[in-house]
A = this chain, B = another copy of it.
Amino acid sequence: MGNSRNTLTLSVIAILFTLATIAGSAVAGNNPVDERWWPSEFGADDQAGAVKYITPEKRVAAAQLVKKGKTATLGMPYYNNMPLVPGRTYALSIPGGGTPTHGPLNWPGQQFDQTFMDELVTAEIGQVGTQWDGLAHPMIRVQGAEGWKDGNYFYNKHRLEDVGSPRGLKKVGTEHVAEIGFFTRGLLIDVAALKGVTRLDKGYAITMADYQAALKAQGVADASQGDVVLFRTGWNSLWKDYNTPPEQRAKDNAEFTSGEPGVSPEVCDHLAARKISMIGSDTWGLEPYDFAKGMPESFAYCHMNLTVRRGISNFENLDMDVLSQEKAYEFLFTWSPLKLVGATGSPGNPVAAW
């Protein structure tokens, strides 16, 4: 009975682990020993990372992209039955017990009082739905490597065993990036439109050729320093219609989490070299997966090489459909994570304007 939780919490992630063990092949450039990834170019004590690539000049230029006065909000709806990585929770309820949450409070001398409603949420609030992976989410675990102290390492070599804490991590928490916020050029790479499909196939890896073809088709220049670069795969079409009846919703959720199209290592390496401030997509995990077909060599490649090594954060489960319809490929991207002290990520609903 004692070891049964292992089975019960077997999840996508656990499946990945199994597959990874089987696969066993090395990925070129993946080995963090090959390069020294700290101290950060922002300093040995830095806890905010690539958001610092955004300069005042970049901000002024980004604001000037707002010509039509149009906006779109890029978050997906959060609701109790939305797709979740197995093991995570999102539960919203409205406290009341058959009454308003607060009140009635008297409005003197009137037949009219004041009452108020609240909502109560329990969730891995920075890791469910539309969510931003902060610098306290992914780690490289090192075991028995020469010259290393064993442990789990965040961005800038902050070690979990040194900064872990039950009520919020002591370093690299979300609040450090949230002090600054993103106000910069956004660049849409609309691969679903390029390929003329509702959604890319599960496991499809977006290549440099795709990336360059999309830039060309869209008539926009390559990413430059401080940009937020967003990939549209159409994968969130499995989630989007939240009037879907429960049985179909359950099927769509299962399909949604069974894999996804995603960004290949070569594209992540390119964007890292361009010094972007953030990457994002309309998928739950950024990289391409098709778990039924086995473990990809590129597993979590971008998480490790962008976020852990370079402090370039990653925004998941975005909705770029309005941008696509409007052919708004360049826009002002503006958003900040919540100042959740010691958290690993943040929910969000960024505003794009053009």
Q: How many copies does the complex hold?
A: 4
Assess whether A304 is in contact with B114, with CB atoms less than 8 Å apart: yes
Assess whether A64 is in contact with B63, with CB atoms less than 8 Å apart: yes
Of the 9-residue stretches A207-215, A227-235, A243-251, which lies at the interface with chain B?
Answer: A243-251
| Interface residue A291 (Cβ < 8 Å from any Cβ of B) | no
Q: A24-B108, A63-B66 are in contact. Are A97 and B97 (CB under 8 A)?
A: no
Q: Which residues of B contact A98 (CB under 8 A)?
A: 94, 96, 98-100, 117, 152, 160-161, 164
Known: A93-B97, A104-B141, A121-B124. 6 other contacts (CB 8 A): A4-B79, A4-B242, A5-B170, A17-B104, A87-B167, A117-B139
Assess whether B345 is in contact with A73, with CB atoms less than 8 Å apart: no
Q: Among A9, A119, A178, A249, which residue has the most Cβ atoms of chain B within 10 A?
A: A119
Assess whether A79 is in contact with B3, with CB atoms less than 8 Å apart: no
A-B contact pairs, 7 of them (CB 8 A): A24-B109, A59-B66, A71-B181, A89-B122, A115-B152, A117-B139, A182-B351
Nearest CB to that of A33 among chain B residues? B112
Q: Which secondary structure dominates chain A's binding surface?
A: loop
Q: Which residues of B contact A97 (CB under 8 A)?
A: 93-94, 96, 117, 160, 164-169, 342
| Interface residue A313 (Cβ < 8 Å from any Cβ of B) | no
Q: Which residues of B contact A7 (CB under 8 A)?
A: 242-246
| Interface residue A282 (Cβ < 8 Å from any Cβ of B) | no
| Interface residue A23 (Cβ < 8 Å from any Cβ of B) | yes
Give complex CA distance A73, B103 in Å: 33
A58 touches which of B69, B120, B351 (Cβ 8 Å): B69
Identify which of residues 310-354 in chain A touch chain B, using a CB-to-CB cut-off of 8 Å.
Answer: 332, 334-345, 347-351, 353
Q: Which residues of B contact A91 (CB under 8 A)?
A: 89, 91, 120, 122
Q: A9-B80, A100-B98 are in contact. Are A66 and B71 (CB under 8 A)?
A: no
Assess whether B334 is in contact with A349, with CB atoms less than 8 Å apart: no
Nearest CB to that of A89 among chain B residues? B91
A349 touches which of B112, B140, B181 (Cβ 8 Å): B181
Give complex CA distance A238, B33 in Å: 47
Give complex CA distance A70, B77 in Å: 31
Q: A4-B341, A86-B246, A169-B117 are in contact. Are A99 and B26 (CB under 8 A)?
A: no
Identify which of residues 43-80 in chain A touch chain B, using a CB-to-CB cut-off of 8 Å.
Answer: 47, 55-60, 63-64, 66-71, 73, 75-80
Assess whether B107 is in contact with A145, with CB atoms less than 8 Å apart: no
Give complex CA distance A87, B90 in Å: 11
Q: Which residues of B contact A182 (CB under 8 A)?
A: 351
| Interface residue A259 (Cβ < 8 Å from any Cβ of B) | no
Q: Which residues of B contact A108 (CB under 8 A)?
A: 20, 23-27, 295, 297
Interface string of A185-217 (1 = CB under 8 A from B): 000000000000000000000000000000000
